[in-house]
Structure 1
Amino acid sequence: MAGGVQDRQAGAGERYDVFHTDCPARDVVDHVTSRWGVWVLISLRNTDLRFYELRESIRGISEKMLAQTLRALVEDGLVWRKVEPTTPPQVTYGLTEFGRDVGEPLTDLFDRITRRLPPGGAQDR
């Protein structure tokens, strides 16, 4: 059989086969659910942020990992990037419509966890 559903782009009304290793949607899922991808999307949910503001909002992320994560999310069309031609350049990031759509359930999950987690993080047993 020449070419399967995994080898072509999904058309209108079709879905990608994310369980196939060559599926382009699988890369997007991997980037969104990566250790830092989730935090970038949640951090940008309410406002656009400059690179260093974003780094400050995500405790523990290195500049290198933030840059790599942002690059992947920009390539996936989830985050936009705007460079102001100043010295030094000011780079601002925000969520695209696609990024807001994908980030909404992550934000809901984040909010549910933070509302339901007992004080001090102790779990009910």
Structure 2
Amino acid sequence: LIEGISQRMLTLTLKGLEQDGLVSRTMYPTIPPRVDYELTDLGRSLIVPLQSLRNWAVEHRPAMLAAREKFAKREQQTGSRQARFTDPK
């Protein structure tokens, strides 16, 4: 269960990961149909680099939040605000 993602977006994302060889898809002819996804060897090779990225993000989160706050104050003072790619849609 992934909060905040539609079934369609999840399906498209999994299809892309399958296309890239990161996951394998197994479909079972049951009612209702069942589909399982599993990391391939290539997908499993990403676990360590992704854990490192996560650790970096956790370690640097306070600095990033402080930078966002500083930026927001500066934007508020100038009265301008442009949409950023991190803004929710």
TM-score, normalised to structure 2's length? Answer: 0.60
Is it true that 1:85 corresponds to 2:29 in the alignment? yes
Q: What SS class does the counterpart of residue 38 from structure 2 fall into?
A: strand
Is it true that 1:113 corresponds to 2:57 in the alignment? yes
**Structure-1 separation of matches of 2:16 and 2:65:** 35
Structure with the higher helix share, 1 or 2: 2
Kindly tell me: are residues 85 and 115 of structure 1, through their superposed partners in 2, closer, same or farther at Cα, counting changes over 3 Å? Answer: farther
TM-score, normalised to structure 1's length? Answer: 0.45
Structure index of larger Rg: 2
Aligned-residue sequence identity (percent) comes to 40
RMSD: 2.2
Is it true that 1:123 corresponds to 2:27 in the alignment? no
Supply the AA of the counterpart residue of 2:43. Answer: G
| Residue segments in structure 1 that go unaligned for 5+ positions in a row | 1-55
Is it true that 1:75 corresponds to 2:19 in the alignment? yes
Q: What SS class does the counterpart of residue 123 from structure 1 fall into?
A: helix
Q: What SS class does the counterpart of residue 112 from structure 1 fall into?
A: helix
Kindly tell me: are residues 123 and 75 of structure 1, through their superposed partners in 2, closer, same or farther at Cα, counting changes over 3 Å? Answer: same
The ranges of structure 1 where at least 4 consecutive aligned residues each deviate by more than 2 angstroms after the TM superposition are 114-118, 121-125
How far does the alpha carbon of each residue in 1:93-119 deviate from its partner, in whole angstroms, 9 at most, with x for none? Answer: 12101011134312221133235534x
Kindly tell me: are residues 123 and 64 of structure 1, through their superposed partners in 2, closer, same or farther at Cα, counting changes over 3 Å? Answer: same
Match of 1:15 in 2: none
**Structure-1 separation of matches of 2:5 and 2:61:** 23
Q: What SS class does the counterpart of residue 80 from structure 1 fall into?
A: strand
**Structure-2 separation of matches of 1:61 and 1:84:** 24
May I ask how many residue pairs the two structures share in their alignment? Answer: 67
**1:69 positional shift:** 0.9
